[in-house]
Chain A
Amino acid sequence: MSDATDASSPPLAAGAARLRDGGGRDSDGFIIGLDVGSTTVKAVVLEPGSREILWADYQFHETRQPEKVLELLKAIEGQFPLPSNKFRIFATGSGGAAIAPYVGARFVQEVNAVSLAAEALQPDVGSVIELGGQDAKIIIWLLDPKTGRKRKLATMNDKCAGGTGAVIDRISAKLQLSSAQLRELRYSNARLHPIAGKCGVFAETDINSLQKQGVPSQELMVSLLEALVQQNLSVLTRGNTLRPKVLLLGGPNTFVPCLQEAWRQHIPRMWQERGLSLPEDATPEELIVVPENSLYYAALGAALYGHQEEESQAGTYAGTAALEEYIEVGRRKAKETTGQRGFFAGEGEMAEFRRLYATKPFTPPTFSPGQVVEAYMGVDGGSTSTKAVLTDGEGRLLAKAYQLCKGNPLQDAKEVLGQLRQQMEGQGARLRIRGVSTTGYAKDILKEALGADVAIPETVAHAQSALRYYPDVDVIADVGGQDIKVIIMKRGKVKDFKLNTQCSAGNGYFLQSTAVRFGYDITQYAEAALRAQRAPTFHYGCAVFLEQDISHFQQLGWQPSEIMAGLAMVLPKNVWLYVVQETNLARFGRTFLLQGGTHYNQAVVKAQCDFISARVPQAQIHVHPHAGESGALGAALEAIRVMDGRESSFIGFDRVERLTFTTTRDESTRCVFCKNKCLRTFVDIQTSPSQTTRFIAATCERGMVESIEEVRAFNAREAVVKKANPNFVEISTREAFRSYHPPQVTSTSDGARVSLWRLVAGGGAARMRQQREGLRIGIPRVLSMYSYAPFFSAYLESLGVKPQHIVWSDYTDDQMYREGSRRGSIDPCFPTKVAVSHVHNLVYKKRVDAIFFPVIMNVPSEIYDCQASWSCPTVQGIPEVVKAAFTTERDAFAERGISYYDPVLHMAEPHLFERQMYLFFRRLLGVSREESRRAIEQGYRALNTFLSGIRRRAREVLDQLEQEGRVGVVLLSRPYHNDPGIHHEIPAQIQKLGYPVFTIDSLPTDADILDRLFGEEIRRGEMADPLDIHDAWKHSFSETTSRKVWGAKYVARHPNLVGIDISSFKCGLDSPIYHVIEGALEAADTPYFTFHDLDENRPVGSIKLRVETIGYFLRRHHEEMCHRRELAEEVEQRVAAYRERLRRELLPTGG
């Protein structure tokens, strides 16, 4: 923790003081406990007999672990002038094992060390939560009722450093919170915002978005701490309850009181919920403590281990000679055997590179005093920097300004516009702004504040800017602070684009923050990295793993400049392999353009050139002459295009300079226009004494207005759009969970027999029917239920269960997820993970007698001749995980009188399924075989009604699209993506753009339309059936995967449909078909977009950018379609005229 640097080290213990004062005892030796962590090194010296701490210190190693260890050991040697064999040394921590051999230490694993210390120093300890730099540990001592002994459950984070101190450090640096500010944060009075806690990168994405809405840094930091606590409680405890007394250890827990408060908020809540009995003499909060020496527990534990160690020679201190030798020589040798060569073999190569790619300074045109300059302005409010440019009417650059974000986009914009003005008016010229366009994350608020004429998505701005300089460009790689955008061009038009989803692996900000951490300014990055002779080889991908690699390389002695070189080298891999997912770059073309602020970094440019050239030997690689301002430049070009002689609405530089604003985000700004009741940010912008504009940053468009009248008007407008463009995600969701009112099939209603044994045991048919009527069955509204709910509800209803007694859990929302997620013990994909919360919802919020959550092994398939139609393994197994989650430690179902059932069902095998249903429901409802069979028939009937109804409506919409030459969007997703908590409202946003949204299941399968789409290929023998996917996908054993492939084939063949591939993070069955979906749509030149890696957090900014970009390209696609339609009509008119002329020539009228 960086804030700890200014915290004073604990005072030396009395024993040490005595030694120092010359009153030292005649000791037989001491034990050194050394904790080599990912950010700090701590050491303690113990007196073995009394176990008294004689000396203790910690140091931030700032990447120099061996050096800091040496420093501390030298200090110990100085403090205790004894021969080295009088010391025994025990090392722990993530770097402990590597250092131990050089100083003769024995390594002690850190959890064992911490638990040893906790048991020794706090005998009544029940749990330990230790957050380190990159690891998190939870230890729980459980009393075994049989033996009366305590046993230990210990968990550590896996390879991911998600919920640890590294994330706190990184975000506090981003939020520019000082150590003192971090310490002053208080949990109790802070407003909390939803932030992903599981992943530092996701958290950063959320924070970026909220920051742009004007949420104060302090609130964001508290929200992050809240998220980390939630994450650790939900996953790291692995479903176990922390036992009091809870010790909070490690840097973050010690130095951030707010984090302590967050633990004290949540742990007692968990205790209460799980009915844990607590000691009566203390409040729950008093049972969660930060003990004295909380930083040193691991080091102390290591030393105590030494104290217990029977081998007297174990860990005999060997002095520092070997460590010094390692630092001087050994480390370099070890390093030389790994890693890769630096960027250049020699100075010549470097000079040649600089000649080709050195950034040419911009020489702005000069103006004479008094000259009136007519200009267009583009402003790019990016995630990490704000840029602005002025161009003339021909798009020639007149002036530009660039500034790293200082926290608020309005303030930043004021400053960059001031710079622009200064550049022009400094020469005595007068500016006349003809048009202003904004782009970037903050484009909307900037448009509102500056009175800009237009706001465009940054993807569009970057494409326009690139085309200005390189009209024949094939690929534009724009790497900004947060976003990576790659735009594929074809004949001067955008063909496709790729954006990083919420994961900003390897972006510019990561490089920047790493450089700063190493003590470099970002402008010094390139020079340092380019001169590195060697560089470590990073694994590309997630930034959290890159972070871990950095720590690892530091341990191996790689220098900051070498690490920076390695990071620059891995960036192209993140761009091309991780985001774009294309190994064959030559497929895109030969001309590559690098732009975006990150390409100001020459080391990155060099790495990009090396990477691209290795794959496309003939590549021409250019760097945009204004790489950092390319977005702003594109915006200015857009302003030129749209203004077309109109007067600009720009408020003028004077008013910009006087612009003041206040940001309000509290209860008074809470939106009341829907049940979500989201917090909004009101930005009141005053540009003149008489004029105040209010900009409302909200999570949806409805929240961007203030009065109920405005909402009504908005709703009316929206209703028109929605009516014209039905959203089948919404329709399917609504239809799936309604009653289909099946006829009763019970024995008394139609004579079917009830089972004999049930009659005997249960006292007759009438009583049984009564039981069924009274039984309230809860079913989690998750996963396959989005397809098969009509079946199960109709089955139960036809057997006499009242429709109102079939209780579905609520739709997924953030609050519901968080309430239940603490029961979770694993971290699979969100759609399955959320099942725990749904069952929690049924147990604690609904009144049910039984919960029915079947293990659905396979489902009926419409796909032709598929190998199988399995459900996904996670979907299959999650009912078992849920059962475990609610019965670990105590049986939460039994406590509330609920029975939990998760029978195995093979829906794809009708006879087996019938038997399984009968055997299960005979037990639960006393059904007879015949009753069950008839109920199944009713179930299928309802399912058929549900599906055919939706498809019929979809057919009408599709026909209309064809007639009107419009475009519809098909979500290539799984049924559970219909869940509003999982799809994050993406379908509704697409619908609001004016496009009907189809699901795969809603695609009409009428014979005529299938023949139109697939008939030719069937007749050519390329396919056997319209629902055959073998031509595109061989492994047709996962039903939803097969359906996605078929959906993509359908879209590819229909001229009025485009596809959006939606997939959840960690979906193991989607990843193998990414290239199939893409291939199917690309082959047909059908626009194709993706929302991959959707997770529990809702990255509003990223979704918005993507939706806006999709909207832009869909408009272009539609325009193209209309144009072609007009051309086709024109052709037909000319053909008709030609036919008439020909007829006259060939068939002269008689007479």
Chain B
Amino acid sequence: MSTTPSTDEQLEARVEAYRRTLRQEIGLEQHEVRHFKRPYERPFPLVEQATTTIVYCGLTTTHEEITLGVLERLGYRAQRLPIPDHQALAIGKEFCNRAQCNPTYYTVGNLLKFLFELRRQGLPDEEIENSYALFWGADCGPCRMGMYEADLRKALKGAGFPNFRIVNLDIAHGLDIHQESVGFQMPPIAFLHLAKAAMAADAINDLACQIRPYELNPGETDAVLEEARQSLRVAIKDGSSIVAALRRIKKRFSQIEVDYLRVKPRVKVTGEFFLKHSEGDSNHKLMRWLEEEGAEVMLDLVGAWFEYMIWLNELKVKDRLWVKPDKQGMGGANRWLVWAGLRLGKAAYEALYTFYRSLLNFKPQALPPMGRLDRYSEGYYEKRLIAGEGHLEVTKHIWMTLHAKAHMMVTVKPFGCMPSTISDGVQAKVVTDLADAIFVPIETTGDGEVLVKSRVQMKLQEAKEKTREEMERVLDGYGVTLEEVRAFARKHPKLTNAMRRPPHQPGLVSTAANFAADIARRMGRRQRTIAGWPKGRRGAS
């Protein structure tokens, strides 16, 4: 068979060449269209592990600091980013898509601010990209949180760091890293360490919140908290005993001098995950400011959210136990096995946290009883609505009010947060139905601080009045004066130990009222029946 082109083929080849030339001459020959592709994700191979510093942010200082110990233990160079501030917001707004919610702006802007600072110090962009990688958490619920990564990559590209590496931890599905990205590995044991770090951080943060408003020497609690963070970080990093560390921490906290008779309303802070845990400008430093305004802040535990995740998955599996598997939903997984695993995991998680609490006199607050909580929101908010904090905002509001856990609840949410807006719509009814609720939702954009704080102050005043009334009822009820209680407590130093947890009296919320009631009983006083004395479950309709 001849390989020489036929005359026809020669002709067509020349015609085609002529056509091409003509089209080119006439301007019809276009450059090849390169369709849009999502940003390149640079892998993170093992070889780069030793020269790469992992940076991260987005939680409380305590959580971040102790997490540093976990990463160090795993052999990574790691560094916390500063707490996101207004400047981070401005940078985030500049480089992200318009109309994003502010957790995106703050966290993305915070990373860029850090990178710009390195650039300002003279580090070449390439070296910055080679030396640092971001450890980033995401979730792919229906809310846009799972899409933050897209804005992050867009912003990094826009800022001149297209090859910056991101190690994405999908909270629901584990690590989402490129196949070649073996430079960052999270063995199962790492998750256990992370869980321990989160629990320990929760416990000491909560301790500090319970003690700080009552400390006699300003700043002492913060100093002890910082010691505790370092102690736990080192324990986790070195693999030494966390139990021993917590015992030492308990001792240090117990040395703080306190006056638990200061009458302060307990204010529960909850809301969107990033904002409720943030300690920076994103929520106008809400927790510290509330303390300055005379409140005792009741934090939401970071661990509670992980527990919620487990509970949610358990619910998901439970709903599907009796139906044939669908591709979406459970896929081919063995539902009964997953269900059993989740239940077991939840029990273990709760047990470990309770153990840590026991080492700290059970003073840190317990994990919310997730299994029972959903019944409070029944009829108000569907528990299967999973975006953001789901039904938790509503259910916590009702739970806190019915069980006298806090005088007031502040939910903090970013402007335009979709799930939070929805639960706010339901809260309007909850507030009307609950006679005793003091509830204030605040929306933040980073500006308008005066108005936001004013709205909180508005409710805080009510909470303070309620707290004062509560204290008066206790003193009247037991027939004691504040001076008598104080004098008795002074004679019994053990009772005034900062780590002591006065027993919670039904219907009493504030630390001072519970403390006074406890002392009064120890003084041998009996409670008189007086009008208006709380009877435990209050006010629910």
Interface residues of A (CB under 8 A from B): 94-95, 97, 107-112, 134-135, 142, 144, 146-147, 151-154, 156-160, 238-240, 539-541, 545, 548-549, 552, 573, 577-578, 581, 583-584, 824-828, 855, 857-858, 867-874, 876-878, 880-881, 884-885, 887-889, 902, 904, 906, 908-912, 914-915, 1017, 1022, 1030-1035, 1037-1038, 1041, 1049, 1052-1053, 1066-1076, 1079-1080, 1082-1085, 1092-1093, 1124, 1127-1128, 1130-1131, 1134-1135, 1138-1139, 1142-1143, 1146-1147
B448 at the interface (CB under 8 A from A): yes
Are A583 and B426 touching (Cβ within 8 A)?
A: no
Give the CA-CA distance A112 to B380 in the complex, in Å: 29
Flag if A240 contacts B146 (CB, 8 Å): no
CB pair A158 B458 closer than 8 Å: no
Asked if A1083 and B421 make an inter-chain contact with CB atoms under 8 angstroms apart, the answer reads no
Instruction: Assess whether A911 is in contact with B325, with CB atoms less than 8 Å apart.
Output: yes
What residues of chain A lie closer than 8 Å to B388, measured between beta carbons?
A: 873
Chain B, residues 192-228, CB within 8 Å of chain A (1/0): the string is 0000000000000000000000000000000000000
Q: Which of A549, A1031, A1072, A1130 contacts B150 (CB 8 A)?
A: A1072
Q: A157-B451, A1131-B22 are in contact. Are A1034 and B140 (CB under 8 A)?
A: no
Chain B residues contacting A1041 (CB-CB under 8 Å) are 147
B535 close to A (CB within 8 Å): no
6 A-B residue pairs with Cβ-Cβ distance under 8 Å, sorted by A, are: A147-B435, A156-B454, A552-B450, A868-B142, A1017-B35, A1128-B28
Other than A1032-B35, A1131-B23, give 12 A-B pairs with Cβ distance below 8 A.
A159-B444, A239-B432, A539-B93, A552-B450, A581-B98, A857-B385, A880-B380, A884-B428, A915-B322, A1038-B142, A1084-B35, A1143-B11
Is B305 interfacial (CB-CB < 8 Å)?
no
Complex Cα–Cα for A545 and B443 (A) = 14
Q: Output the least CB separation between B147 and chain A (Å).
A: 4
Is B323 in contact with A911, judged by CB distance below 8 angstroms? yes
Q: Is the CB of A909 within 8 A of B38?
A: no
CB–CB B422/A912 < 8 A: no
Residues of chain B lying within 8 A (CB to CB) of residue A881: 422, 425-426
Q: Residue B536 at the A interface, CB < 8 A?
A: no
Given contacts A873-B388, A876-B385, contact A1085 B33 (CB under 8 A): yes
- A1127:B26 contact, CB within 8 angstroms: yes
| Of B12-20, B263-271, B359-367, the one with at least 4 CB within 8 A of chain A | B12-20
Tell me which residues across on chain A come within 8 A of B33, comparing CB atoms: 1083-1085
* In contact, A884 and B34 (Cβ under 8 angstroms): no
Chain B nearest CB from A1126 CB (Å) reads 10
8 Å CB contact of A1034 from B100, B149, B380, B457:
B149
Question: What are the residues of chain A within 8 A of B442 when measuring CB–CB?
Answer: 158
The 3 closest A-B pairs by CB, nearest first: A159-B448, A881-B425, A873-B387
The answer to whether the Cβ of B423 comes within 8 Å of any Cβ in the partner chain is yes
Q: Is the CB of B36 within 8 A of A1076?
A: yes
Known: A888-B432, A909-B329, A1017-B35. A870 touches B141 (CB 8 A): yes
Residue B131 CB within 8 A of the other chain = no
Most buried by A among B159, B446, B461: B461
Partner of A827, one of B101, B421, B423: B421
Q: How many angstroms from the CA of A1092 to the CA of B148 in the assembled complex?
A: 20
The reply to whether B418 and A873 form a contact with Cβ atoms under 8 Å apart is yes
Chain A minimum-CB-distance residue to B432 = A888
Those of B132-165 within 8 Å (CB) of chain A: 140-144, 146-151, 154, 158-159
Select the residue from B100, B415, B417, B432 with max chain A CB neighbours within 10 A.
Answer: B432
**Number of B interface residues, CB 8 Å?**
97
A868/B140 in contact, CB under 8 A? yes
Q: Which residues of A contact B143 (CB under 8 A)?
A: 873, 1068
Given A872-B418, A881-B425, A1071-B100: A1037 and B35 within 8 A (CB)? no
Bound CA span A405–B419, Å = 45
CB distance from B148 to the nearest CB of A (A): 8
Known contacts being A873-B142, A1135-B19, is A1035 close to B428, with CB within 8 Å?
A: no
Give per-residue flags for B461-486: 1 if the beta carbon is below 8 A from chain A beta carbons, else 0: 11000000000000000000000000
Question: Smallest CB–CB gap between B145 and chain A, Å?
Answer: 10
Contact A912 B428, CB 8 Å, known A109-B458, A868-B140: no
B-side contacts of A539, CB under 8 Å: 89-90, 93, 446-447
Task: Name the residue of chain B whose CB is nearest to the CB of A1031.
Answer: B37
Check A877/B387 contact, CB under 8 A, given A912-B320, A915-B322.
Answer: yes
CA distance A912 to B330 in the complex (A): 10
| Residue of A with least CB distance to B148 | A1072
Q: Which residues of chain A are near B453, meaning CB under 8 Å?
A: 97
User: B385, A583: Cβ atoms under 8 Å?
Assistant: no
Looking at the assembled complex, report how far the CB atom of A85 sits from the nearest CB atom of chain B, in whole angstroms: 25
CA distance in complex: A912, B451 (Å): 46
- Contact code string B1-42 (vs A, CB < 8 Å = 1, else 0): 000000100110011001100110011100001111110000
Asked if B451 contacts A156 (CB within 8 A), the reply is yes
Given the known interface contacts A826-B422, A880-B385, A1131-B19, the answer about A1071 and B97 at a Cβ–Cβ threshold of 8 Å is: yes
Does B382 sit within 8 A of A, measured CB to CB? yes
Residue B274, interface by CB 8 Å: no
Asked if B424 lies at the interface with its beta carbon under 8 angstroms from chain A, I say yes
- Residue from A159, A1031, A1068, A1075 in contact with B144 in the complex, judged by beta carbons closer than 8 Å: A1068
In the complex, the answer to whether B38 meets A156 with C-beta atoms within 8 Å is no
Question: Does B445 interact with chain A (Cβ within 8 Å)?
Answer: yes
CB atoms of A1071 and B324 under 8 A apart: no
Taking CB atoms, residues of chain B closer than 8 Å to A1143 are 11
The distance in angstroms between the C-alpha atoms of A1142 and B17, with both chains bound, is: 13
Residue ID in chain B nearest A1033 by CB atoms = B38
Most B-side CB within 10 Å, residue of A97, A108, A909: A909
Considering residues A874, A1070, A1093, which has the most beta carbons from chain B within 10 angstroms of its beta carbon? A874
Cα A2 to Cα B182 in complex, Å, equals 66
| CB interface residues, B 24-83, toward A, < 8 Å | 26-28, 33-38
- Which of B326, B388, B415, B443 counts the most A-chain CB atoms under 10 A from its CB? B326
Q: Counting chain B CB atoms within 10 Å of each CB, which of A152, A577, A1035 scores highest?
A: A1035
- CA separation between A1073 and B144, bound complex, in Å? 10
B522 contacts the other chain (Cβ, under 8 Å)? Answer: no
Residues of chain A contacted by B460 (CB below 8 angstroms): 109
CB distance from B374 to the nearest CB of A (A): 13
Q: Smallest CB-CB separation from A1081: which chain B residue?
A: B36
Cα separation A1076 to B35 with both chains bound (whole Å): 11
Contact A1067 B99 (CB under 8 A): yes
Decide if B381 is an interface residue (CB 8 Å cutoff).
yes
Find the B residue at minimum CB distance from A1093: B99
Q: Which residues of B contact A541 (CB under 8 A)?
A: 93
A1131 to B29 alpha-carbon distance, docked (Å): 11
Q: What residues of chain A lie closer than 8 Å to B154, measured between beta carbons?
A: 1075
What is the chain A residue whose CB lies nearest that of B459?
A: A154
A135–B458 CA distance with the chains assembled, in angstroms = 13
Task: Collect the chain B residues with CB atoms within 8 Å of residue A1070's CB.
Answer: 99
Q: Are A540 and B448 in contact (CB under 8 A)?
A: no
With A153-B432, A870-B142, A873-B385 in contact, do A545 and B447 touch (Cβ < 8 Å)?
Answer: yes
> Looking across the interface, which residue of chain A has its beta carbon closest to that of B150?
A1072
* Closest residue on chain B to residue A573 by CB atoms: B94
Candidate in A885, A906, A915, A1084 with the most chain B CB atoms within 10 angstroms: A906
Q: Which residues of B contact A112 (CB under 8 A)?
A: 457-458, 461-462
Q: Does any Cβ of A come within 8 Å of B120's Cβ?
A: no
Instruction: For B417, list chain A residues within 8 Å (CB).
Output: 1068
Q: In the complex, how many angstroms separate the beta carbon of A399 from the nearest chain B beta carbon?
A: 40
Contact, CB under 8 Å: B451 / A887: no
Cα A1032 to Cα B446 with chains together (Å):
32
Q: In the complex, A153→B384 CA distance in Å?
A: 30
Given the complex of chains A and B, what is the CA–CA distance between A1143 and B10 in angstroms? Answer: 10
> Residue on A with the closest CB to B100?
A1071
Q: Report Cα–Cα, A1076/B36, bound state, in Å.
A: 8
Tell me the nearest residue of chain B to A869, going by C-beta: B328
Within the complex, the shortest CB–CB distance from A200 to chain B, in Å, comes to: 14
**Residues B385 and A159 in contact, CB atoms below 8 Å apart:** no
Smallest Cβ distance from A216 to chain B, in angstroms? Answer: 34
